[in-house]
Amino acid sequence: MKRQRGIYRLLCLLVCLTLLAGVLPAPVLAEEPEICTLTEGCTLPAGHEGDCVPAAESEPTPQADPVPPNEEPDPVNEPAAPQVGDTIEIGGISYKVTALPADGDNGTLTLTNGKSVSGEIVLADGMEYAGGKYDLTEIAYGAFMGNTALTGVDLSGTSVKKLLGNSFRNCSALAKVMLPDTGSLRIENGAFVGCSALTTLQLPTVTLVRSPFSSAGIKNLLIQNIQGTAPMNCFSGLPEGLNVTITGSLSTSALRKDSFGSTKKVTLYLPTQALVDSYAALYEQKDVTVKLLGGEEEAIAAVTDSTGAVSGYATLKAAIEAINASADPGSFKVSVNGGETMQPWEGDVAPNKPTEINFNNGSVDLPDTLTLQAPLTIRNVKNFNSEDALCTVNAGAYPFRVEDGGSFGFASITGSSLTFEGVVPGGKPIGQLVQLTGTGENPTLTYIGIGNAANYYGLPNMSGFASLVLDKAFMEADCYELLTGQLADVKNVTLKNGAGLRMGAPVTLETLTGEGQLRFTGTGRLTVTGSASGTFTLPDYDVSEGAPLPIELPAGAEVTLLDKNGQTIPLTEPAVRVQELNQSFASLAEAFTAIEMDEGKGPYTVTLLQDAAFTMEMGLPEKDMVLDGGGFTLSAPEGATVFFREDLTVRNVKLALSGSTLQYQPATDAKRTIRFEDTVSGQLGRIVDESQSRWLDIRLEGGLPFEKIVGTTSTLDTRLTDLILIGYGTEEAPLDLSGKVENLAALELGNSWITAAGDATALGVIRLENNKTGGGLILTGDTTLENLSLYRDTPFQLRIPADAVLTMTGDYNADIQITLQVQGTPADGHVLVRVPSSYTRKKFAVFTMAGGPEGSILWWDKENLEFTVSYAPEAAVGDQSVKGREAYTRLELRLTDAQGISGVEINGKFVAISGAPTDTLFTDQTLWQEGENTVVVHDMTNNHRKFTWQFAKAADYTAVDKALKSIPDNLGSYTDDSVKKLNAAVNAVVRGLEAKYQSEVDAMAKAIADAVAGLAAKPSGGGGADLRRGLPAGRRGPH
């Protein structure tokens, strides 16, 4: 039997060699003959056991043209959902489905054929196919084998844990490979054989099978760690001068004596002296030189720069200082190998270039404060901090990321971009909790790969973050007594790769995107106000039960919701939202019902999310409300009646309420207000107060058009409805309220212009909003008002035509002065205002007039209860008055006034007038005094006017008169020349001059006397006529 088995083994070996001869380069077969063992990709001859031969390569499956990036597939040709074992194609690459998406977890794929792709390719988890998402976990046997057009492959964003045999074999142009750090990566036989362009390769912690690298161009190989033992010839067939750097805490059995096979002049760099000593002894007889990574000191920290060069440092601090001093802009990778010893992070020093620090499942004692100078990633930490001291991290604007680290050790972490993968940061195991704080513009907090659909983790205390991203992470908020309000500041949530978010209290977001689970407990519910897109499962909701949906989405949301059974939850566009209930509703009626049932007292803010309408007969809740239209239209059917019972404010809406009625029916014993703010536009119908017992203020702002306002009257015949108009009409186009109001208790105006005429008592008391209110009331004819209640010194104007009469009917305690702006010239004695018989100065305003003739007033005619126009008295100089050059020497005054003269004050002395004459002549010259005389004339309306005149004593004209008498009767007997001189002297006489001009008067007399003496007789026989009568007596002074 033993011999027979040996023959079979030999035959198997020969078959393997024969088959491999067709696929391996000749140098490989000559230098490294392959020995087949039982691995994936091998088949056994029927009926045999033991060694096997490799499976023959199958012909490549014909590939369909890949879907161009960002191009949506044709929905008509949308592929059916695959089953486990099916082959699917994504982007020109074939995959085998190994697990289907379920319970929020992505499905899994094995890449089976990538031989048709070219250039550099990037693969990542979360690939979408037929409505599901899939992660890449394996590269199959021979998947890229022989693809000479492939130049690079990036698998760092995948979950690949296995590179099976010959996966990249003979990819001769492949120069760049990036592999994921998924804990441990298995690389099998022939994986990179023949990859001649690949000169540098970085490996995470790996398990190596057979000979993965033979005939590759690798000259620098950086390995984080090796699990198990690298087999015989594992690194054989590589270029002479190979450098292998292992940064992890390698075991002393990780490498065999023959692991490097035929590769010549190998230099092996190890982090500790103990490892160097151990492997130097192992390779003493081999072409392998073993060196300490840090030079002469043990390398606790190995630093890999952006070129792939590795340097070792004795401490983490030294490594960080070297990075900070380097001219290389990075990024850098630091591998710390402290074993079981907790490594100190000395001082508040952080790398000043993008750096990733891998602690290889060791522990680190963080500083009290760590301030970032560049993006920083910390990975694979077993425990943070050995003492009670906690670290405060100030990341600022630099991304800070922790992957697979210990949960405790942080007092607070502050920054604009924080990411935690596989770990939720914490403070102390018992006691102090960590505080996460977002800063900067749009601070974002990201969790990756935490929990699962059955195990949710609580979000730490957090504030200030605008965005929360969950990627394969299952987190919950407001589910623990000590952890509440975590989402209070969050505006945007993104779920990726089936992540889950559980809420134990109401949450409001601006945006929701992605795909995953949304779960609710307690009072939890979610409201999205801005935008939403993606597919979300509600594992606790059954659509068949018809329960209220705990999620509210905005109009236009591109969201698919699935219940616990995978059934689509139908979405209805919400019409309104009630802020205080944190809930949206399909109609106003539903919202009003929910408010009515709520135990709160309000006010409740009802916001329209789309155009909405009142029904034909609808009652508002018996709660104070604010109706915010959100810019939409609120309408009602023609003839509809909407009942309101409490305070109601309407804003930011376009009304289409023509022909409808808002009717007030009070619910409680209190004054209520319905208000339409100046952000309301459109058309308001009727507002009718039917209370008959409660005060109602109707406040309309911004000139909102309305059809009619009808007030109410109590059983005691008291009006109870006030209308307040703000910003209505203009001075040029005042609002005419004729027929638009009925039965008001008061009309209050604020910067409004209205017009009225005829019986306007339906307006009630007209009053002002405040003493700074402008606008005015313009009367266009005889008008009857109930009353006016105005402020002193207000810019408000009350205008009335000069020939109109304002009649007041009611009493009001308004002991102020109201000025009427008279348009035109009123007649003297015209009645401008009539007041009721109950008028008293304490019960009514005093009216005054502006715009009338100078000196005119409004006279209170108490007997007739009228305010009458009264002109001021007039005074004229009488016909017998004489005026000298500067003053009157004789003064007579004629006084007139339509209402009668009541008295005259002359120089401060009152002169009584008997009766009430309308025409009086003063002739008494003894009343005047030398110089200025002041005369104040009073009439029967208490109006008056003041006059001033100058009076002086007259000069003595006796000598003048005597001289004139001395003129002969017959001047015809005198010569013409002498008579002419006499006439000149007589004509020069001026009568009425003041006494101070007496010398001039005397000179006049002398001139006449001298002229008389100078008369020359004509020669005898001349005989002339008597000219005496032709001489003037002298000029009189002016009046």
pLDDT band at 940 (very low <50, low <70, confident <90, very high): confident
Task: Find out whether 273 and 294 touch, Cβ atoms under 8 Å.
Answer: no
Q: CA nearest 135: which of 90, 68, 170?
A: 90
| Beta bridge pairs of residue 200 | 220
* 823 Cβ contact partners less than 8 Å away, ≥ 6 residues apart: 799, 800, 801, 802, 851
Q: CA nearest 665: which of 618, 631, 702, 628?
A: 618
Mean pLDDT lowest for which of 60-69, 278-287, 586-595? 60-69
Q: Does the pLDDT at position 48 exceed 70?
A: no
Q: Does the pLDDT at position 37 exceed 60?
A: no
* 681 Cβ contact partners less than 8 Å away, ≥ 6 residues apart: 653, 654, 655, 702, 704
Per residue in 222-243, pLDDT tens? 998 999 999 999 999 999 999 9
DSSP string, 680-724: -EEEEEEEEE--SSS-EEEEEETT--EEEEE--B-TTS-B-EEEE
pLDDT band at 942 (very low <50, low <70, confident <90, very high): confident
Q: CA nearest 994: which of 884, 890, 892, 891?
A: 884
Residue 134 confidence (pLDDT)? 94
- Decide if 874-951 and 958-1030 have a common fold: no
- Structurally, at CATH architecture level, domain 874-951 sits in Sandwich (2.60)
Token duo for residue 70: 């960002």
Torsion of CA 224, 225, 230, 235, to 10 degrees: 10
d(CA 160, CA 157) in angstroms, rounded, equals 9
Which fold is adopted by the domain 958-1030?
Answer: Substrate Binding Domain Of Dnak; Chain:A; Domain 2 (1.20.1270)
Residue 845 confidence (pLDDT)? 66
Q: CA nearest 674: which of 654, 695, 653, 703?
A: 695
- Percent of the chain scored above 70 by pLDDT? 88
Torsion of CA 407, 410, 413, 417, to 10 degrees: -30
Mean pLDDT lowest for which of 84-93, 360-369, 635-644, 843-852? 843-852
**990-1003 b/e (C-beta count within 10 Å ≥ 16 → b):** bbbbbeebbeebbe
Residue 812 confidence (pLDDT)? 57
* 61 Cβ contact partners less than 8 Å away, ≥ 6 residues apart: 87, 94, 113
| Overall average pLDDT of the 576-601 stretch | 88
Phi-psi region of 852 (alpha: psi -120 to 50; beta: other; left: phi over 0): beta
Task: Find out whether 762 and 756 touch, Cβ atoms under 8 Å.
Answer: no
Q: Does the pLDDT at position 218 exceed 90?
A: yes
Residue 427 confidence (pLDDT)? 76
d(CA 851, CA 585) in angstroms, rounded, equals 60
Residue 669 confidence (pLDDT)? 67
| Overall average pLDDT of the 879-894 stretch | 91
Per residue in 314-325, pLDDT tens? 889 999 999 999
Q: Is 560 helix (H, G, I), strand (E, B) or coil?
A: strand
Per residue in 694-725, pLDDT tens? 889 999 999 999 999 999 998 888 889 999 99
Q: If you search the block for the tokens 């006279």, which residue do you land on?
A: 859
Q: Does the pLDDT at position 1033 exceed 90?
A: no
Residue 55 confidence (pLDDT)? 38
Q: What's the one-letter identity of residue 790?
A: L
**Mean pLDDT computed over every residue of the chain:** 86
Q: What's the one-letter identity of residue 171?
A: C
DSSP string, 20-88: HHTTS-HHHHHHS-----S-TTEE--TT--S--EEPPPPPPPP-PPPPPTTPPPPGGGPPPPP-TT-EE
| Overall average pLDDT of the 668-678 stretch | 86
The distance in angstroms from the start CA to the end CA of the chain is 170
d(CA 586, CA 573) in angstroms, rounded, equals 7
| Overall average pLDDT of the 12-23 stretch | 40
Q: Does the pLDDT at position 53 exceed 60?
A: no
d(CA 236, CA 260) in angstroms, rounded, equals 5
Q: Does the pLDDT at position 482 exceed 90?
A: no
Mean pLDDT lowest for which of 89-103, 372-386, 684-698? 372-386
In order of 229, 284, 463, the CA distances from 520 in angstroms are 49, 66, 21
Per residue in 921-930, pLDDT tens? 878 888 899 9
- Domain residue spans in the chain? 2-53, 578-793, 874-951, 958-1030
| Beta bridge pairs of residue 403 | 379, 421
Cis, bond preceding 603 (omega within 30 deg of 0): yes
Token duo for residue 1: 């039997």
Residue 899 confidence (pLDDT)? 84
Which helix (H) or strand (E) element contains residue 842? none
| Overall average pLDDT of the 304-319 stretch | 88
Per residue in 961-996, pLDDT tens? 999 999 998 998 999 999 999 999 999 999 999 999
Give 1033's Cβ-side CA count (13 Å radius): 8
| Overall average pLDDT of the 499-511 stretch | 94
* 505 Cβ contact partners less than 8 Å away, ≥ 6 residues apart: 477, 478, 484, 485, 522, 523, 524
Task: Find out whether 275 and 232 touch, Cβ atoms under 8 Å.
Answer: no
Task: Find out whether 457 and 424 touch, Cβ atoms under 8 Å.
Answer: yes
d(CA 337, CA 329) in angstroms, rounded, equals 24
d(CA 158, CA 142) in angstroms, rounded, equals 19
How remote is the C-alpha of 715 from its chain's centroid? 50
Token duo for residue 861: 């005619």
pTM for the structure as a whole: 0.55
* 133 Cβ contact partners less than 8 Å away, ≥ 6 residues apart: 101, 106, 107, 126, 127, 497, 498, 515
- Percent of the chain scored above 90 by pLDDT? 59
| Pairwise pLDDT comparison (554 vs 966), residue with the higher score | 966
Q: What's the one-letter identity of residue 543?
A: V
| Overall average pLDDT of the 584-588 stretch | 86
Residue 545 confidence (pLDDT)? 86
Q: If you search the block for the tokens 């300490």, which residue do you land on?
A: 292
Task: Find out whether 244 and 219 touch, Cβ atoms under 8 Å.
Answer: no
Per residue in 902-921, pLDDT tens? 889 999 998 877 777 888 88
Task: Find out whether 455 and 474 touch, Cβ atoms under 8 Å.
Answer: yes
List, in sequence order, every beta strand (DSSP E) within 865-955.
866-870, 874-877, 882-883, 888-890, 893-896, 901-906, 909-912, 919-922, 931-939, 944-951
Q: CA nearest 602: which of 623, 627, 581?
A: 623
Q: Does the pLDDT at position 51 exceed 80?
A: no
Q: Does the pLDDT at position 539 exceed 70?
A: yes
Q: What's the one-letter identity of residue 705?
A: P
Residue 33 confidence (pLDDT)? 37
| Overall average pLDDT of the 511-534 stretch | 93
Residue 745 confidence (pLDDT)? 92
Residue 837 confidence (pLDDT)? 81
Mean pLDDT lowest for which of 50-54, 229-233, 432-436, 501-505? 50-54
d(CA 730, CA 992) in angstroms, rounded, equals 63
DSSP label at 876? E
Q: CA nearest 330: which of 352, 363, 298?
A: 352
Q: CA nearest 746: which of 762, 726, 730, 727?
A: 762
Other CB atoms within a 10 A radius of the CB of residue 27 amount to: 11
How remote is the C-alpha of 374 from its chain's centroid? 32
Helix axes 998-1013, 958-965, angle to 10 degrees: 10
Instruction: Select, from the ranges 74-78, 103-107, 459-463, the one with the highest average predicted confidence (pLDDT).
Output: 459-463
State the SS3 of 597-628: HCCCCCCEEEEECCCEECCCEEECCCCCEEEE
Per residue in 622-660, pLDDT tens? 999 999 999 999 999 999 999 998 999 999 999 999 999
**1018-1039 b/e (C-beta count within 10 Å ≥ 16 → b):** eeeeeeeeebeeebeebeebee
d(CA 36, CA 55) in angstroms, rounded, equals 11
Mean pLDDT lowest for which of 543-552, 643-652, 748-757, 1000-1009? 543-552
Q: Does the pLDDT at position 1022 exceed 80?
A: no
| Overall average pLDDT of the 323-342 stretch | 88
| Overall average pLDDT of the 34-56 stretch | 37
pLDDT band at 309 (very low <50, low <70, confident <90, very high): confident
